[in-house]
Structure 1
Amino acid sequence: MFLFFWYFSGVTQLLILLSDSAGFTGFRQSALVSTLWMIPLILFPARMRWLAAMIGIPLWICSLAGFGYFLVYGQEFSQSVIFIMFESNQSEASEYLMQYFAWWMVPLFIGYGLGAWLLWRKLRPVYLPWPKAIFACLLLFTLSLGYTVTRQLIINADSHRALDKIEDRLEPATPWQLIVGYHQYRQQLSNMQAMLKNKNSVAPVKHLSDARAGLPSTLVLVIGESTNRQRMSLYGYPRQTTPNLDRLRNQLDVFDNVVTPRPYTIEALQQILTFADQENPDRYLTTPSVVNLMKQAGYKTFWITNQQTMTKRNTMLTTLSQEADKQVYLNNNREQNARQYDDDVLKPFDNVLADPALRKFVVVHLLGTHMNYQYRYPPEYEFFTDRRGVPPNVTDHQLSTYNSYDNAVRFNDQVVSTLIEHFAATKPDGFLLYLSDHGEAVFDPDHPDVLGRSEGAPTAPMYTVPFIIWRSPSWKAHQQLDLASMTSRPYSSAHFIHTWANLAGLHFDELDYSKSLVSTQYQVHPLLIGNPEHPKNLIDFSEISPGLSQPLAREKEIAKSARRKTINSHL
């Protein structure tokens, strides 16, 4: 009976333990928590087999996510993955399943299900006298939940902290990892919606001044999706994946050492678009966003998105977009089919540029190179179809996906370059900045079997992002910043809001020029990656990517030293 219920959490936890990707805690907790399901079978032995099936089938279904994730990544199904799962719509989730699915997983899933069925067949009822049955059930409840709940309520005066600790204990076991994930997702969503409802309670930045106050300005922020700069010819990739940006190269400031703090859209943008960072991940709830900042500076704000939205408020990111004065939601389909391409943003973008407002701030959020890659570009952009320019590590089975990603990058180049050209054609007084939320690993030579993103198994392509600025001649003349001398600075997009404010000519008390990529007061800060909920596990990006250029060796050492000081201070 115990083995049957332990099986749905224990098999995956045992594999994790044997692979040395995590310690013994998860294995122990899954075993303890699994004893809870034995209680109904002891209380009602005559219906034991029926009850076991009614409980076991949902447990088996819920356990497939963790089991499948381990098969793909060799890692535990983390809280971050659960969060992303609840931020995805049905179509997006099915795309991921199709992308990760491999034939060899079929017999493993069949064998996994067969093991559960065989244990179910071996179940036999346990008849105990009623007093002993009650005692046994109380003991099992204490082992599974009672002790943990009681202990945390006693040692934590704060009930919310106690609940967090209880959830940590339950999380390794099925189905609690999904229940905990959903609870935390709803909690975060509620926080964002509360911030939107009560945005007047979020204090504005202090002593804001604007070097261009009262003058015409149009500032554009283009947010890409899942685009790894290492796959852009603009950054030296041998395939011509960005021919249009290559052509515009002499008009651009191309920063080649920018990384994202998190490899997931929501968690990355919580930091990129606010004053939150890896040391202070919750600041997005209590400080102004870049949209609030620009509104405070007197800009009319627009948000154009091709990210899928079933309703205007169905995701945390959509909720954040509601802070803008006007929103354009383009992707309201039930499916992310091939007809929903990023060039759909061009018409509303032109409409915004034609808006008579004197000062405009525009966010354009693309689907970019989001998986499933073949849905990100029209058939006529099927440019890469063979092995020319493909690293030798890419297998025949991987080739189609590898080429699809490069085709998606090439179409993304078409969209971003067209946005720049349309913007330039209006002869604006302003700038356009393009960066991606995070990167993507697609069978890269250093990790030839890795596809997608996993914070538990980080690789450089998941974090290296493009960071490109186009400035109008009038803006360059006014600001006179020598950005060409700054393009190789190591930088985390977690500090993006300081760079944006600096570029926009804003000044306020909270602005930290040492965190601005374009400031003369810039300083090297640690390029921290990882889950900030577990600060001991934060690492500097240089630890997974030794490829920083030699001229930056001294800055790299400074960054490592700063990282040690920062983490020690944080702990």
Structure 2
Amino acid sequence: MSAVLQTSPRKGVDWAGLGWAFLFFWYFSGVTQLLIQLTGTAGFSGFRQALLASALWLVPVLLWPARTRQLAAVIGTLLWLCSLGSFGYFLVYGQEFSQSVIFIMFESNINESREYLIQYFAWWMLPAFAAYGLCGWLLWRKVRPIYLSRPGALFAAAIALFVSVGYPALRQFSKHDSWQAGFDNFTQRIETATPWQLAVGYKNYREQLTNMQVLLAENASIPPLANLQDAHAGQPGTLVLVIGESTNRQRMSLYGYPRETTPELDALRDQLQVFDNVVTPRPYTIEALQQVLTFADQEHPERYLTTPSVINLMKQAGYKTYWITNQQTMTKRNTMLTTFSEQADEQFYLNNNREQNARQYDGDVLAPFAKVLADGAPRKFIVVHLLGTHMSYQYRYPAEYERFTDRSGVPGNVSDDQLPTYNSYDNAVLYNDHVVASLIKDLSGAQANSMLLYLSDHGEAVFDAPKPDVLGRNEAAPTSPMYTVPFIVWNSPQWQAQQARDFSAALSRPYSSSHFIHTWADLAGLRFDEYEAHKSLVSQNFRPLPLLIGNPEKPKSLIDFSLIKPQAPVAQRIAQKDPEQRATKAL
């Protein structure tokens, strides 16, 4: 017992010794988090959570001070080994290690791992890893026993335990009704710290893999569409569906916004069919795409589990299918998206960040898109899922696209505090314009018989009228910017000639993207028993239906979008608020 707790020969607490011990344990989580902060890769939450979680390792050295050096050596070695993955991943990608990376690690075989190491290995990595290990060793040499009285040691250990895991656990369990929800959020909080990245990541990997396999098995058991007919059967062709994220069309100059946020699409305007009255049924990605990509809708929301998806449809029509995504993949929230992607023949997962609030640019989709275009398959269907203008907006575009920095073109209701966020959203729209236009140009140059359709999953309110204090999305308090989405079609001359259709009468039709699969089938020249022509935006048999928004699990909460107070055109609001800007605009 005397070896467990000893009385300090010193007077008072050895604060310097305590500080060195904490710094040593923090080092293996903190260095990578510090690099993330210094490079502006992600927000502060990961750094804060890793700082708190590192206090846990003080507990054994406080309780067994005579064995401090040995305990620190064993714990430090384990932490160092577990941290090499996240440290190395940041060196290669400049991103935070995440559950998605864990998924890739466990899904890769030895040959894939060897190819990965050969591809990304650089000479400077060896000295970087050596320096990382050397600094850890130097810190270990500073660690010394911290002798406290028995009550003092127990009290200090209790504080360290409470700070590292007790407080985060109590906070999460008190915020959620179910034990499982509280536990899931608690593990998410400590996931930034070593070694919990691997432990929590592996646990979640097993859970999400099981859930996804169940969903894929259910999808595989769904009967094919009946009596499928293809007007383009036997012809080569490439059809592309680009899914945007959080982009409100009212902030696009292509739709009349006074700021030039879509200059590249504006330049392609004569080649585009721009539909200006399309809304999304839900303001959340998963819930919206469950309807957009299947036969589910607001009146039958469960059908995404029992009916074919657009991927199933195109595979049945003889297309080789691809899914290129810059969205997060294997997270509990995004399992459904990953399930959709796994239905495709080939997948490209580009975003392995732990959280959405991290720098991740959609330009990354262009290289795999070019690779897929070069694939020899005669008929290709490609889904490109962008991160778009997802919050936090300043992480969605590189520095050269930070074009909007002042009040020019900004409504007068936007306060000085709101202005940076308002501008960063417009800059994100500007970069999104570049990516979408680049996809169109690359497709045009590579495939003679092709079509591309771009729409966003939902919109976003960023201090827009009619409620200029609202930022983000809230289904319980809907405003029009949360639901108004861009809907744009580009056809190659050859594809357009085959269709010989005039869409001018359809461009302003009121339409919900919950019926999108019927429009896509119509545009692709596909017919089957389940197809309903009146739900196709471009059909001659189109019939306007209520634009239902809200939570379909609460049917009484569903309302027609037309009942929401519309947003006044931005140009009109600027003129009303600021006569000087109106005069400048007129000049």
TM over 0.5: yes
TM (normalized to structure 2)? Answer: 0.62
In 2, the alpha carbon distance for the partners of 1:345 and 1:353 equals 12
**How far 1:548 sits from its partner (Å)?**
10
What is the rounded CA distance, in whole Å, between the counterparts of 1:189 and 1:529 in structure 2?
A: 31
Q: Is the 8 A contact 1:304 1:348 kept in 2?
A: yes
The SS at the match of 1:444 is coil
Q: 2:216 aligns with which of 176, 192, 196?
A: 196
The reply to whether residue 506 of structure 1 matches residue 526 of structure 2 is: yes
Cα pair distance change 1:487/1:91, threshold 3 Å = farther
Equivalent position of 1:308 in the other structure: 328
Residues 311 and 332 of structure 1 are in contact (CA less than 8 Å); yes or no, is this contact kept in structure 2?
no
Aligned equivalents of 1:252, 1:342: Cα separation in 2 = 21
User: Are 2:481 and 1:461 aligned?
Assistant: yes
Structure 2 letter corresponding to 1:458: P
Runs of 4+ in structure 1 deviating by more than 6 angstroms, as ranges, are 56-60, 88-93, 186-191, 311-314
Q: Is contact 2:330-2:338 (8 Å) kept?
A: no
Verify: 1:540 aligned to 2:552, yes or no: no
Q: Residue 274 of structure 1: which of 294, 311, 326 is its match?
A: 294
Residues 424, 545 of structure 1: alpha-carbon distance in 2 compared, 3 angstrom cutoff: farther
Matched, 1:287 2:397: no
Give, in whole Å, the separation in 2 of the partners of 1:402 and 1:263. 19
3-state secondary structure, aligned to 2:470: strand
| Structure 2 Cα separation of the partners of residues 417 and 340 of structure 1 | 18
> Please, which of 240, 249, 255 is the counterpart of residue 275 of structure 2?
255
Mapped to 1, the partners of 2:191 and 2:325 lie a distance apart of 16
C-alpha separation in 1, matches of 2:422 and 2:237? 41
- Deviation, structure 1 residue 334: 3.4
One-letter code aligned to 1:355 = D
Unmatched runs of 5 consecutive residues or more in structure 2: 1-157, 193-205, 570-587
In the alignment, is the contact (CA less than 8 A) between 1:195 and 1:202 conserved in 2? no
Structure 1 Cα separation of the partners of residues 170 and 483 of structure 2? 34
Q: 1:210 to 1:489 in 2, by over 3 A?
A: same
Of the three residues 446, 471, 474, the one matched with 2:494 is: 474
Could you tell me whether the CA contact under 8 Å between 2:208 and 2:331 is conserved in 1? Answer: no
Cα distance in 1 between the residues matched to 2:288 and 2:191: 19
Cα-to-partner distance string for 1:234-267 (whole Å, 9 max, x where unaligned): 0000000000001100100000000000000000
Distance 2:466 2:493 in 1: 41
Residue 193 of structure 1 and its aligned partner are, at CA, apart by: 3.7
Q: Is the 8 A contact 1:310 1:334 kept in 2?
A: no
Corresponding position of 1:138: none
Q: Percent identity?
A: 69
Shift of 1:331: 1.1
Query: Equivalents in 1 of 2:191, 2:399: separation in Å?
Result: 20
Q: CA deviation at 1:320?
A: 1.5
Distance 2:331 2:475 in 1: 29
Counterpart of 2:273 in 1: which secondary structure? Answer: strand
* C-alpha separation in 2, matches of 1:388 and 1:92: 42
1:217 offset after TM fit, Å? 1.1
How big is each residue's C-alpha offset from its partner over 1:33-57, in whole Å with a ceiling of 9 and x where there is no partner? xxxxxxxxxxxxxxxxx9xx9xx97
Q: Which residue of 1 aligns with 2:464?
A: 444
Matching of residue 61 in structure 1 with residue 81 in structure 2: no
Within 5 Å, give how 1:226-241 maps onto structure 2.
226-241=246-261
For residues 425-453 of structure 1, the C-alpha deviation after alignment (integer angstroms, 9 at most, x for no partner) is 12431210000000000001311110000
1:344 matched to 2:364? yes
Map of 1:101-120 to 2, 5 A cutoff?
Answer: none
Mapped to 2, the partners of 1:373 and 1:276 lie a distance apart of 30
1:281 to partner: Cα distance: 0.1
Could you tell me whether the CA contact under 8 Å between 1:92 and 1:336 is conserved in 2? Answer: no
Change (3 A) 1:276 1:193: farther
Contact 1:192 1:285 in 2 (8 A): no
Question: Which amino acid letter does the alignment assign opposite residue 235 of structure 1?
Answer: Y
C-alpha distance in structure 1 between counterparts of 2:190 and 2:386, whole Å:
17
Q: Residue 353 of structure 2: SS of its match in structure 1?
A: coil
Distance 1:249-1:64 versus aligned 2 partners, 3 A rule: farther
Name the structure 1 match of 2:439: 419
Distance 1:199-1:59 versus aligned 2 partners, 3 A rule: closer
**Contact 2:283/2:458 (<8 A) preserved:** yes
1:366 aligns with 2:386: yes
1:339–1:448 CA distance, 2 compared to 1 (3 A): closer
Q: Is the 8 A contact 2:324 2:348 kept in 1?
A: yes
Return the offset for 1:59. 9.1
CA distance in structure 1 between the aligned counterparts of 2:175 and 2:332, rounded to whole angstroms: 29
3-state DSSP class of the match of 1:328?
strand
Q: Which has the larger radius of gyration?
A: 2
The equivalences for 1:120-269 within 5 A come to 193-269=213-289
> C-alpha deviations, 1:251-308, integer Å up to 9, x for none?
0000000000000000000000000000000000000000000000000000000012
SS at match of 2:296: coil
Q: CA deviation at 1:481?
A: 1.4
Q: Which amino acid aligns with 1:363?
A: V
**C-alpha distance in 1 between matches for 2:513 and 2:210:** 25
Q: Structure 2 counterpart of 1:430, which letter? A: S
Aligned residue type for 2:552: P
The answer on 1:531 being equivalent to 2:551 is: yes
Contact 1:440 1:462 (C-alpha < 8 Å) held by counterparts: yes
AA at the equivalent of 2:264: N
Residue identity opposite 2:459 in structure 1: G
The aligned amino acid for 2:492 is S
